[in-house]
Amino acid sequence: MVVKSGGVGGAEEGAAAAAVRRWVEAGGGRLVLDGGLATELEAHGADLNDPLWSAKCILSSPHLIRKVHLDYIEAGANIIITASYQATIQGFESKGFSKEQSENLLTKSVEIAHEAREMFLKQHSDQSTPMHRPILVAASIGSYGAYLADGSEYSGDYGEAGTLEFLKDFHRRRLQVLAEARPDLIAFETIPNKLEAQAYVELLEECNISIPSWFSFNSKDGVHVVSGDSLIECATIANSCAKVGAVGINCTPPRFIHSLILTIRKVTDKPILIYPNSGERYDGEKKEWVESTGVSDGDFVSYVSEWCKDGAALIGGCCRTTPNTIRAITRTLNQFCPAP
Ligand X SMILES: N[C@@H](CCS)C(=O)O
For residue 86, state whether it binds ligand A1LUD (rule: CB under 6 A).
Answer: yes
In DSSP terms, 283 is beta-bridged to 288
Residue (of 66, 302, 84) closest to 183 by Cα position: 84
Strands 281-283 and 288-290: antiparallel
Residue type (1 letter), 263: T
Residue 189 contact partner, candidates ligand X, ligand A1LUD, Zn ion, none, CB within 5 to 8 A by sort of partner: ligand X
- In this chain, which stretch among 17-25, 112-120, 203-211, 311-319 interacts with Zn ion, using CB under 5 A? 311-319
Q: Which residues bind ligand X (CB under 6 A)?
A: 36-38, 54, 81, 85, 140, 189-190, 251, 318-319
For residue 318, state whether it binds Zn ion (rule: CB under 5 A).
Answer: yes
Helix (H, G, I), strand (E, B) or coil at 47: coil
Based on CB atoms, which residue is closest to ligand A1LUD, 217 or 282? Answer: 282
Residue type (1 letter), 236: T
Q: Under rule CB under 6 A, which residues in 254-293 are in contact with ligand A1LUD?
A: 282, 284, 287
Query: Largest alpha-carbon pair distance within the chain?
Result: 59
Q: Alpha helices, DSSP H only, in 181-275?
A: 194-206, 231-239, 257-265
Q: Could you tell me the smallest distance in angstroms from the CB atom of residue 6 to ligand X?
A: 34
Answer for which of 79, 146, 199, 329 binds ligand A1LUD (CB under 6 A) is: 146
Residue 151 contact partner, candidates ligand A1LUD, Zn ion, ligand X, none, CB within 5 to 8 A by sort of partner: ligand A1LUD
Distance, CA of 71 to CA of 60 (rounded, Å): 19
**Distances 157 to 44, 127, 296, 318 between C-alpha atoms, Å:** 32, 51, 31, 22
For residue 141, state whether it binds Zn ion (rule: CB under 5 A).
Answer: no
Q: Which residues bind Zn ion (CB under 5 A)?
A: 251, 318-319
Q: Which residues bind ligand A1LUD (CB under 6 A)?
A: 53, 86, 146, 149, 151, 153, 190, 251, 282, 284, 287, 319
